[in-house]
Chain A
Amino acid sequence: MMENAWLIPLFPLVSFVILLLFGKRLKEAGAYVGILMTLASLVFSILVLFERFSEPSYIQKFEWLKIGDVSLTAGFEVNQLNALMLFIVSLVSFLVHTYSKGYMHGDGRFPVFYAYLGLFTFAMLGLVISPNLLQTYMFWELVGLGSFLLIGFYFYKEEAKAAAKKAFIMTRIGDVGLFIGMILLFWKTGSFEYSEIFSAVEAGGISQTMITLTAILIFIGAVGKSGQFPLHTWLPDAMEGPTPVSALIHAATMVAAGVYLVATMFPLFAASKTALLTVATIGAFTAIFAASIGLVQTDIKRVLAYSTVSQLGYMMLALGSAGYVAGVFHLMTHAFFKALLFLAAGSVIHAVHTQNIEEMGGLWKKLKWTAPLFLIGTLAISGVPLLSGFFSKDEILVAAWEGGHPILFVLALIAAFMTAFYMFRLFFMVFTGEARGNQNHVHESPGSMTLPMLVLGVLAIISGYVNTPWFGSFLGDWLVDGNEKLGHGHMEGPIWIMIAATVVSLAGIYLAWLIYGKRSVSRNWLSGSGDTLHTILYNKYYVDEFYQMTVVAVTKGISYFLRFIDVFLVGGIVKGVVGFVQGLGATGSKLQNGQVQTYAAVAFVGLAILTVIFALTGGYLQ
């Protein structure tokens, strides 16, 4: 089965092509094309995953491009991480395909939506089975394209247009880092193949500075894609896309690609302490930074978006603390519960036609399926014991502690508290209390939407049990099997960390309940300490404005300056040359005065000069 893994990305590509060509005729029946194709991918992925449990990794490649004597290859590889990612991506994609059938019903560009979904799924699946850095980079950009297209799906909205543009350009800034890092690594190791890069790094032929530099450059790529500080601003804006897209791309799969990249390149990072520390610091900072913004946002999707940024920061922190397994583990559980949350949020939006949580409330009774499922997701992300998020978060905290970064550990703990708080704030505001907006036509979503949520809900509960301190760390052991560079399958940490994590998340929930559930504490309690803090948080620390005033303004400034040069300097030189030639011509034409005598005089002078030259040099014939 593994030798046929290359088929997995091709199914969605076929779906993309079919829908692009025949979408107009298929109309909403196009959904079945997409669903069937991703189902095929899912089935294959499951088969591959199970086969990988018992068999060694499989890699196959062929020559893609020859440059001189170097031959660049393309191909595919199935190892533990790839097989796991294949499964996650194809599962979430399949569920989102199913869900969208209900969610996008009635949209005029229904087939186009499915076509884009197919393109994205193709790129994402291609990304996770790439055997070398170059191919990874190519699919890396293609998932960016899919994300761009889907964010801009409602192209007639100015916000969607701006968000799509921003997403593409911001991630591209990161991509350039990856691009440079990749090329530098190529010249140092002579290959784009992961295995060869790692063995070259291990052999020690590369200076420590170069390892650190390339690792950080590659990490910049991950920062862009995974919405880490300071390139995080595009991700919340990306919520302009349809909600299923947010679930698939901006929660479960693409944004996790940055984490995946760092995980894939882990042996390189592991070779440089500085690089690891950078990853961990950026991760921890992003985790708390985004969580604090999430505390005050009022758009349901933006709250989830900031929580995504924050959770991705967690994963980076895990990887940076050498917790390879913890990072990947959290990637997996997060994919499930965050996709669940987004789909449930989509179901809510579908029902009430607004995204502002101030206008919701009291939906628990009206949305019989959505509400409990949303609660499951909220519990999971908050790290409440026995759900998946608890186990993976615990692993990360252990990794951070064992990694010897007590400050980062504390940051992560605070972020966990905030996460629990704002997620339950969201939950209470949406589902409990009185209805605050116009809710006349609220109805539960159709089965095609609730069913995928149900699947994800089950996974959000149970997926943590593949790697627990109690029932064995099956996932961890499997992931690092045969590769000791990746660290241990499971980290033993002091038991108090687990207790602390539980306490912190319960405290967050309790506080949220006091304020938004029971309402015994005023909502202004937080902002009471100063409107300034609230304003700063609400405006996301003014990072966007800062970029607008610095980067964008500087770019424009340079542009106008260069235009000045173009018009006046380059244009001026041209004008100068033209003027000189014209002047020369004018002077020359004055000689022609019509006086034969002048002509004769000139001719005579010329003759005289020639004669003198002739006399002095002795002539040509000499």
Chain B
Amino acid sequence: MNLGWALTLLVLFPLLGIVVLAFMPKTAEKSIKLVGFLATLPSLLLALAAYLHFKWGKDLADFAVTHDWIQFRGMNADEPYFSVNFELGLSGFQLILVVLTAVVATLAAIASKYVKKEWKGYYMLFLLLETGMLGVFTAENLILFFLFFEITLIPTFFLIGKWGYFEKEKAAYSFLIYNGLGSAVLLIVIMILFAKTGTTNIEILKSIMADPSAPLSGDLKLGLFIALLIAFGVKLPIFPLHSWMLKVHVQAPPAVVMIHSGILLKIGAYGLIRFGLGIFPEQFEKLATLLAILGVINLLYGAFLAFIQTDFKMVLAYSSISHMGIVLIGLAAMNEAGVQGAIFQVISHGLISALLFFLVGVLYERTDTSLIENLGGLAKGMPIAAGFLLAAAMASLGLPGMSGFVSEFMAFLGLFNELPWVAAVGTLGIILTAAYLLRAVLGMTFGQAHREFAGIMDLRGVEFIPVVVLTFLIVLIGVYPSVLSAPLQATLETIMLGLGG
């Protein structure tokens, strides 16, 4: 059974929404928002269907699709063709990322109801962004990956720059410059690989790299890997390449930050795992200690700085840096527990930060502020929102029974076997995370109310959908982690095989 068409549709469906939107009048706010939301649904349903397909024991390879696309060759007729094909596919790892993307995109479309102007342009860019993200996670060759990667860049730039808060232009430019440089480095890596091996298909590249007679010297490979690390390190972000991301978190509209923090940052982790660990396992191993240390630095650096922020959005921004440190820690362990922990953290943080930023949007909509001290005592006026905020913070600080714990636990479990001392320093982050999150969340919800929140509206109507769905998924993963670990088995085995053990 070939289901390639389904995957292609899954990726391209949001584009159909753009076409529909193009024919709508600019001022029809309600119907534009409705169409924007509906356009994300087909992809979500298809993604869930794909998950069920897997759950029922069928092969994910059914989803693979290949079409000839571009072919060329050098001046001599006997040279082989260079071909770039349109190749999409799904593995377990990609599958859960696609599901995550589809879920978060739909929920962010709901969160976009707070957008105040030019809804048409907003939703068109939003849907383009969704296609880009879905494409990134399903692309099976590097050039296609790069194309989709760039497609995510441009809409995000405009979404931040046009619909953000006060310093939106600055944030948008710093986003574009950092990420543009990152993708330039990525392009160089891809082109060198293409020129040297004649292919950009990821699976083929893996086998070529594993072959000792490959036409690449060890030094070149190491250089390529470091370049890859920088390219995805900007995205993740790894200290000290993080400053753009703070601005984006603070200035972008909440719905875009949900996407950005929930998924776009995850492209960095995805790239490191799929390309770094997949194509350059030996080089990864060489730099594992460095990566572990970088991970611990990220973890602690973010945590310490989150501890003194006055704006809740900044707390969350630094907390993202801190949590991405856990991804690095898990990867650097290079064993099953660590890598699985890193992947779990990718998903878990995607859900948690989407939830947190949605709540930030809800609060900002009602109070026009996200400063912690201005929000004190919120639990009195908005008990439900405060309750969910606390739940999200608990998930974020790794409370068992929620997704954050499973990932944190596995990442540390992995690293303790390889570099116990580095891991021991890292556990300091567990305490700090609790400290800064409680400081921020309790500062906002508990205590004396500094101002009158009497007439304030609690969560209502459609606002419940994102909150409940995300909380449910977070708890589901925390209580029954097999929903994620089952699809990951095959992926992990391949990675471990690549690592030679």
The smallest beta-carbon distance between B376 and chain A, in angstroms, is: 9
- B304 to A559, Cβ gap below 8 A? yes
- A64 to B308, Cβ gap below 8 A? no
The smallest beta-carbon distance between A92 and chain B, in angstroms, is: 23
The verdict on A566 contacting B405 (CB below 8 Å), with A65-B485, A155-B379, A173-B431 known, is: no
In the bound complex, how far is the Cα of B309 from the Cα of A556, in angstroms?
Answer: 11
Residues of B within 8 A of A164 (CB): 442, 446
In the bound complex, how far is the Cα of B416 from the Cα of A187, in angstroms?
Answer: 8
The verdict on A555 contacting B435 (CB below 8 Å), with A65-B406, A152-B446, A176-B430 known, is: yes
Q: B403 in the interface, Cβ–Cβ < 8 Å?
A: no
In the bound complex, how far is the Cα of B301 from the Cα of A558, in angstroms?
Answer: 9
A165 and chain B: residue at smallest CB distance: B438
- B304 to A142, Cβ gap below 8 A? no
- A556 to B308, Cβ gap below 8 A? yes
In the bound complex, how far is the Cα of B413 from the Cα of A559, in angstroms?
Answer: 27
Cβ-defined partner of B335 (8 Å) among A68, A158, A165: A68
In the bound complex, how far is the Cα of B242 from the Cα of A569, in angstroms?
Answer: 13
B304, B307, B335, B424 — most chain A CB neighbours (10 Å) = B304
- B496 to A156, Cβ gap below 8 A? no
Which of B60-68, B132-140, B393-401 lies at the interface?
Answer: B393-401
Q: B223 in the interface, Cβ–Cβ < 8 Å?
A: no
- A68 to B496, Cβ gap below 8 A? yes
- A562 to B304, Cβ gap below 8 A? yes
Q: Per DSSP, are chain A's interface residues mostly helix, strand or loop, or mixed? A: helix
Which of A30-38, A133-141, A426-434, A608-616 lies at the interface?
Answer: A133-141
Residues of B within 8 A of A570 (CB): 239-240, 242-243
The A149-200 residues at the B interface (CB cut-off 8 A) are 152, 155-158, 160-161, 164-165, 168-169, 172-173, 175-176, 179-180, 183-184, 186-187
- A137 to B492, Cβ gap below 8 A? no
The A96-145 residues at the B interface (CB cut-off 8 A) are 134, 137-139, 141-142, 145
The verdict on A165 contacting B448 (CB below 8 Å), with A68-B336, A145-B399, A180-B416 known, is: no
Q: A602 in the interface, Cβ–Cβ < 8 Å?
A: no
Residues of B within 8 A of A138 (CB): 400-401, 405
Residues of A within 8 A of B337 (CB): 67-68, 70
Residues of A within 8 A of B448 (CB): 156, 158
The verdict on A560 contacting B482 (CB below 8 Å), with A138-B401, A156-B447 known, is: no
Q: B218 in the interface, Cβ–Cβ < 8 Å?
A: no
Q: A571 in the interface, Cβ–Cβ < 8 Å?
A: yes
Residues of B within 8 A of A556 (CB): 307-308
Q: A273 in the interface, Cβ–Cβ < 8 Å?
A: no
The verdict on A562 contacting B400 (CB below 8 Å), with A169-B438, A173-B431, A555-B435 known, is: no
Residues of B within 8 A of A566 (CB): 243, 305
Residues of B within 8 A of A574 (CB): 243
The verdict on A66 contacting B447 (CB below 8 Å), with A559-B308, A573-B240 known, is: no
A161 and chain B: residue at smallest CB distance: B446
- B427 to A176, Cβ gap below 8 A? yes
- B307 to A555, Cβ gap below 8 A? yes
Residues of B within 8 A of A168 (CB): 434, 438
The verdict on A172 contacting B240 (CB below 8 Å), with A67-B336, A142-B400, A558-B304 known, is: no
In the bound complex, how far is the Cα of B409 from the Cα of A67, in angstroms?
Answer: 12
In the bound complex, how far is the Cα of B420 from the Cα of A183, in angstroms?
Answer: 10
A160, A172, A186, A187 — most chain B CB neighbours (10 Å) = A172
Residues of A within 8 A of B434 (CB): 168-169, 172
Instruction: Map CB proximity to A onto B232-275 as digits: 1 under 8 Å, 0 otherwise.
Output: 00000001101100000000000000000000000000000000
The smallest beta-carbon distance between A568 and chain B, in angstroms, is: 12
Q: A368 in the interface, Cβ–Cβ < 8 Å?
A: no
Cβ-defined partner of B416 (8 Å) among A137, A173, A184, A560: A184
The verdict on A179 contacting B412 (CB below 8 Å), with A562-B301, A563-B305 known, is: yes
- A156 to B380, Cβ gap below 8 A? yes
In the bound complex, how far is the Cα of B423 from the Cα of A184, in angstroms?
Answer: 11
Q: B410 in the interface, Cβ–Cβ < 8 Å?
A: yes
Instruction: Map CB proximity to A onto B415-445 as digits: 1 under 8 Å, 0 otherwise.
Output: 0110010001001101110110011001001
Residues of B within 8 A of A175 (CB): 430
- B307 to A142, Cβ gap below 8 A? no
The B461-482 residues at the A interface (CB cut-off 8 A) are 481-482
- A179 to B427, Cβ gap below 8 A? yes
The smallest beta-carbon distance between B464 and chain A, in angstroms, is: 13
Residues of A within 8 A of B413 (CB): 67, 183, 186
Q: B350 in the interface, Cβ–Cβ < 8 Å?
A: no
Instruction: Count how many chain B residues have C-beta atoms less than 8 Å from C-beta atoms of the other chain.
Output: 51
Q: B377 in the interface, Cβ–Cβ < 8 Å?
A: yes
- A555 to B399, Cβ gap below 8 A? no
Q: B449 in the interface, Cβ–Cβ < 8 Å?
A: yes
B308 and chain A: residue at smallest CB distance: A559
Q: B489 in the interface, Cβ–Cβ < 8 Å?
A: yes
The smallest beta-carbon distance between B296 and chain A, in angstroms, is: 14
The smallest beta-carbon distance between A26 and chain B, in angstroms, is: 16
Residues of A within 8 A of B399 (CB): 141-142, 145
- A555 to B304, Cβ gap below 8 A? yes
Q: B340 in the interface, Cβ–Cβ < 8 Å?
A: yes
Cβ-defined partner of B400 (8 Å) among A65, A139, A165, A169: A139
Residues of A within 8 A of B416 (CB): 180, 183-184, 187
In the bound complex, how far is the Cα of B496 from the Cα of A558, in angstroms?
Answer: 38
B244 and chain A: residue at smallest CB distance: A574
Residues of B within 8 A of A184 (CB): 416, 420
Residues of A within 8 A of B442 (CB): 152, 161, 164-165
- A176 to B431, Cβ gap below 8 A? yes
In the bound complex, how far is the Cα of B380 from the Cα of A161, in angstroms?
Answer: 13
- B304 to A156, Cβ gap below 8 A? no
- B304 to A179, Cβ gap below 8 A? no
Residues of B within 8 A of A186 (CB): 413
Residues of B within 8 A of A173 (CB): 431
- B431 to A172, Cβ gap below 8 A? yes
Instruction: Map CB proximity to A onto B190-207 as digits: 1 under 8 Å, 0 otherwise.
Output: 000000000000000000
Residues of A within 8 A of B438 (CB): 165, 168-169
Instruction: Map CB proximity to B onto A563-581 as digits: 1 under 8 Å, 0 otherwise.
Output: 1001001110110000000
B301, B340, B413, B485 — most chain A CB neighbours (10 Å) = B413
The smallest beta-carbon distance between B139 and chain A, in angstroms, is: 28
The smallest beta-carbon distance between B449 and chain A, in angstroms, is: 7
The smallest beta-carbon distance between A621 and chain B, in angstroms, is: 12
- B427 to A180, Cβ gap below 8 A? yes
In the bound complex, how far is the Cα of B239 from the Cα of A176, in angstroms?
Answer: 25
Cβ-defined partner of B449 (8 Å) among A137, A156, A176, A562: A156
Residues of A within 8 A of B406 (CB): 65
The smallest beta-carbon distance between B422 and chain A, in angstroms, is: 13
In the bound complex, how far is the Cα of B338 from the Cα of A67, in angstroms?
Answer: 9
A68, A157, A160, A164 — most chain B CB neighbours (10 Å) = A68
B486 and chain A: residue at smallest CB distance: A66
A/B interface sample: 15 pairs, CB < 8 A: A67-B337, A67-B413, A68-B340, A141-B400, A152-B446, A155-B379, A157-B447, A176-B427, A176-B428, A179-B430, A183-B412, A555-B304, A559-B304, A570-B239, A570-B243
The 6 closest A-B pairs by CB, nearest first: A68-B336, A138-B400, A161-B446, A155-B446, A559-B308, A559-B304
Given A142-B399, A172-B431, 18 extra CB contacts under 8 A: A67-B485, A68-B336, A134-B409, A137-B400, A139-B400, A141-B400, A141-B405, A145-B394, A156-B447, A164-B446, A168-B434, A176-B427, A176-B431, A180-B416, A555-B304, A569-B240, A570-B239, A571-B243
Which residues does B use to contact A, with CB under 8 Å?
A: 239-240, 242-243, 301, 304-305, 307-308, 335-337, 340, 377, 379-380, 394, 399-401, 405-406, 409-410, 412-413, 416-417, 420, 424, 427-428, 430-432, 434-435, 438-439, 442, 445-449, 481-482, 485, 489, 492, 496
Which residues does A use to contact B, with CB under 8 Å?
A: 63-70, 134, 137-139, 141-142, 145, 152, 155-158, 160-161, 164-165, 168-169, 172-173, 175-176, 179-180, 183-184, 186-187, 555-556, 558-560, 562-563, 566, 569-571, 573-574
